[in-house]
Structure 1
């Protein structure tokens, strides 16, 4: 397989789950109530932090410790050795982690369950009123819809599609960019939200042009990953660009972009010094400006860069 024809070596971290999402029981309140005494619940706070066990895995609590029946704001995630639920709380006792940092320590199913919980809870946080008539809504179907209190009209979870693109020259160079607020040395792939009336391929061409001022060709789908920050779906593409074309940062989102040789990307991957966003309130660590640092392994950006570099 040539460098121009690479594919993802494996699904991105948040796209590997195979747990049963149990859609068929969401319309059966009696079944959900019957499973509650033996169910487990994942608590998540308003900042998206979740409790962890000693190994960094998800720490579930017995549902019976919370209530005698499923609370109205609980979300049925699926079934895996019993029913699994999620619930947003104000505070979590004990050790916690953040998905951007901690998801690498989760199993495929745990990572998928966490992404599902974050995505649906983040939607609920902004969907208390109908976008149609402004009337109050309440959770229904195990948390998978919000139903008009008076109208009975159902509102369904919102997912925001966004493309993310590895731009390369068909040979040994790849174009990576960085936002102006990122520390020196941090680079990633180019990304942006899909606009109404636009195909995914059209979005790839438009976003790359808006961000770095070049026109790419041959947009080719690679794979996807949920990105629940707050509720996106990242759609991965590869596209061909010409390194001889001058870069222009037209929309102001990208502070700098440059072409990197495959050997330099491979060296950065081998070092393993990924960039990770600092904890809230923490100082951003100093970065060696002569060393390329790439996104952490939770992201589809990292999976695509790794796959291109291996080509």
Structure 2
């Protein structure tokens, strides 16, 4: 509903309407309702103080119910206590499609607003307009739009059909994932895949194919997934990025997950789904 964002009366009107559903975002946390395996956002009616907070119009559903996120101060000391809410990392994989989209969009926008309080052209303060989807310079009137950083993430499979898993520099022992990296200016997505693999592990790849994508608001990224085939298996690691990398057969990967020597990404991440795509089935949940 981008056409509604330019209405200056939109947020004040919605935040005066008790039928509006409000997602209160405190830092990176939101309240949820947990009922067994069912987890959903604890949406509420507007409160008077919401009109003084940063508001983000998130759209409306087929029944006409409007959704607005309001950004408030995080707890003074963040804990995992239930009263402090839950992060998207904690509950994202458990939420339904609507609530996952609301939380993801609200968090991505809030993260962008937090780090763009000043105009990049003149340094003057900016203000949120267009129902939270734009910031305008208070001096020269220039408009600045939400930023999305594109990253590629890929499975690399060798001629023997083994999957490459790597441990990033600074990661804990046993924590492995597929390769990933950010898109550079002037680069195609497939070009970024080939460059990142070449830089990080010294391999040439071919047969690059799009697999899927995922919004990743940590803080404002879009992960674009691919599969790729390597021409060889000899690895030359980029020490600044990769601590270690190994090839796994399907049997070896499942055995390593079972004995705890390999910790794969959580079910929230596209990285997990890329590994499972190669594997041919889901991996049992891990801590």
Alpha-carbon distance in structure 2 between the residues aligned to 1:50 and 1:116? 13
Q: Does 1:256 align with 2:236?
A: no
Give CA-to-partner distance per residue, 1:69-104, whole Å, 9 cap, x none: x44621111113522111221146924112112112
The aligned counterpart of 2:221 is 232
2:102 aligned partner? 113
Report the equivalent of 2:120.
Answer: 131
User: CA separation of 1:233/1:211 partners in 2, compared to 1, >3 Å: closer, same or farther?
Assistant: same
Q: Which moved more, 1:91-100 or 1:253-262?
A: 91-100
TM-score (norm 1): 0.80
Kindly indicate whether the alpha-carbon contact (under 8 Å) linking 1:161 and 1:232 is maintained by their aligned counterparts in 2. Answer: yes
| Counterpart for residue 84 of structure 1 | 67
Residue of 156, 161, 176 corresponding to 2:145: 156
Equivalent residues in 2 for 1:159-308, closer than 5 Å: 159-169=148-158, 172-245=161-234, 247-250=235-238, 252-266=240-254, 291-308=261-278
Matched residues in 2 for 1:212 and 1:148: separation? Answer: 44
Shift of 1:191: 0.5
Q: Give the CA RMSD over aligned residues.
A: 2.1
- Of 4, 20, 33, the residue aligned with 1:53 is 33
User: Comparing both chains, which one has the higher relative contact order based on Cα–Cα distances under 8 Å and sequence gaps of 6 or more?
Assistant: 1
What SS class does the counterpart of residue 83 from structure 2 fall into? coil
Cα deviation, 1:133-173, whole Å, max 9, x if unaligned, reads 21211001000000111222110000001110110125531
Report the alpha carbon displacement of residue 253 of structure 1 after superposing the two structures with TM: 1.1
With over 3 angstroms needed to count, the CA separation of the structure-2 counterparts of 1:243 and 1:261, relative to structure 1, is farther
Query: Secondary structure, in 3 states, of the residue corresponding to 1:255?
Result: strand
Contact 2:165–2:179 under 8 Å retained in 1: yes
Tell me by how many angstroms 1:65 deviates: 4.8
Runs of 4+ in structure 1 deviating by more than 4 angstroms, as ranges, are 266-269
Distance 1:182 1:242 in 2: 28
The answer as to whether partners of 1:266 and 1:309 remain within 8 angstroms in 2 is no
| Displacement after TM superposition at 1:54 (Å) | 3.0
Equivalenced residue count is 268
User: 1:183 deviation in Å?
Assistant: 2.7
**Residue equivalent to 2:78:** none
TM-score, reference length from structure 2? 0.86
Query: Is contact 1:52-1:95 (8 Å) kept?
Result: no
Gap regions ≥5 residues in structure 1:
1-21, 272-287
Are the structure 2 counterparts of residues 266 and 76 from structure 1 closer, same or farther at C-alpha, using a change threshold of 3 Å?
same
Q: Deviations over 1:178-209 (max 9, x none)?
A: 12332322211100111112111111111111
Q: Is the 8 A contact 2:159 2:232 kept in 1?
A: no
| 8 Å contact from structure 2 (residues 166, 243) kept in 1 | yes
Cα-to-partner distance string for 1:89-125 (whole Å, 9 max, x where unaligned) = 1146924112112112210111111111111110001
CA gap 1:165/1:297 in 2 versus in 1, 3 angstroms: same
How much does 1:32 deviate?
Answer: 3.8
- Residues 53 and 71 in structure 2, CA contact (< 8 A), matched pair in contact too: no
Measure the CA separation in 2 of the matches of 1:117 and 1:264: 40
Counterpart in 1 of 2:93?
A: 104
